[in-house]
Amino acid sequence: MYSKDENRKLRKEFWSAFSEYTKFYSMKIGEPIQWVFYRTGVKGVELKFDLENKVVRVILEVNVKNIDKRFDIYVELDKYKSIINSDFNDKLLWFEDYQLPEDKFVSRIFVELYGLNFHNRDKWPEIFLFMAENMFKLQTNFMDIQPLLKEKFDV
């Protein structure tokens, strides 16, 4: 078990190593990668990673306080499900109401990988590959529909 300080240090090392891996992955696919994360251009829509003890997730999240607007954005995303799901072979999970540990509800679309603990440095290459491949696909697919969402919801 790790102390809070050890866990914080390990997370910092993990993200630093992932940043270096992203440079490698960029060369592998032949194009530079700039992760979008919170800068999706659509207020309340975020791309993110989630690391827990034995699961890694790549996420498209609708995190809007107004439940009606969150629902409207989710319904709009669902209209473009075939584009968002492209290259995922039906592995993306769709949740209109996803409860976060702090009892907050969001809408989430994500892919997850079980059995890999980021505390085990030997598993980092496998985690990095999963994260980079899936975020690249999810971000690319989202950016294909982003102008339509931006036009509809950021008026």
Q: Cβ atoms within 10 A of the Cβ of 92, count?
A: 22
What are the domain boundaries of the chain? 35-153
Strand ranges for the chain from DSSP E:
45-51, 55-62, 93-99, 105-114
Mean pLDDT of 5-24: 94
Q: What is the pLDDT of residue 107?
A: 98
Q: What is the pLDDT of residue 7?
A: 87
Q: How far is CA 28 from CA 22, 24, 31, 34, 133, in A?
A: 10, 6, 8, 14, 11
Q: What is the pLDDT of residue 90?
A: 82
How far is it, in rounded angstroms, from Cα 100 to Cα 85? 23
For 93-150, what is each residue's pLDDT tens digit?
A: 999 999 999 999 999 999 999 999 889 999 999 999 999 999 999 999 999 999 999 9
pTM here? 0.93
